[in-house]
Amino acid sequence: MVDDGLWTLIEPVLPPWPERSPGAWPVADRACLQGILYVLHNDMTGQLLPLQPGFGSGQTCRRRPERWQQAGVFDRLHRILLAELKAAGALDRSRACADGSHIRAKKGGSDTGPPPVDRRKTGGKHHMLCDGRGTPLKVITTAANVNDVTHTVALVDGIPSVAGRPGRPRRRPDSLLGDKGYDSHPHREELRKRRILPVISRKGAPSIKGPGRLRYVVEQTFALLHQFKRLAVRWERRTELHDAFVSLACGPIR
Task: Give me the helices (H) in the chain, please.
Answer: 4-10, 29-42, 60-70, 73-87, 152-157, 185-193, 211-214, 216-225, 229-232, 239-250
61 and 96 belong to one structural domain? no
127 and 49 belong to one structural domain? no
**pTM, rounded to two decimals:** 0.86
| Lowest-pLDDT choice from 16-30, 60-74, 156-170, 233-247 | 16-30
* Rounded Cα gap, residues 184 and 111, in angstroms: 23
* Rounded Cα gap, residues 56 and 47, in angstroms: 10
Is residue 249 domain-resident? Answer: no
Is residue 82 domain-resident? Answer: no
Phi and psi for 143 in degrees, rounded to 5?
A: -70, 160
Q: What is the mean pLDDT of residues 103-124?
A: 87
How confident is residue 158, by pLDDT bands cut at 50, 70 and 90? Answer: very high
192: domain CATH number? 3.30.420
Report pLDDT for 197: 94
pLDDT at 190 over 90: yes
Mean pLDDT of the chain: 83
34 and 135 belong to one structural domain? no
How confident is residue 15, by pLDDT bands cut at 50, 70 and 90? Answer: confident
Number of structural domains the chain divides into: 2
Is residue 85 domain-resident? Answer: no
Do residues 126 and 156 make contact, with C-beta atoms less than 8 angstroms apart?
no
114 and 164 belong to one structural domain? yes
Structural domain span for residue 10: 4-16+24-70
Rounded alpha-carbon distances, angstroms, from residue 168 to 95, 161, 163, 171, 236: 19, 9, 8, 9, 38
Looking at residue 162, what DSSP letter applies?
B
How confident is residue 45, by pLDDT bands cut at 50, 70 and 90? Answer: low
43 and 99 belong to one structural domain? no
Kindly report, residue by residue over 46-68, the tens digit of the pLDDT.
556 666 556 665 556 667 888 88
CA-based nearest residue to 196, from 100, 128, 97: 97
160 and 234 belong to one structural domain? yes
Bridge partners, 9 (sequence order): none
Is residue 45 domain-resident? Answer: yes
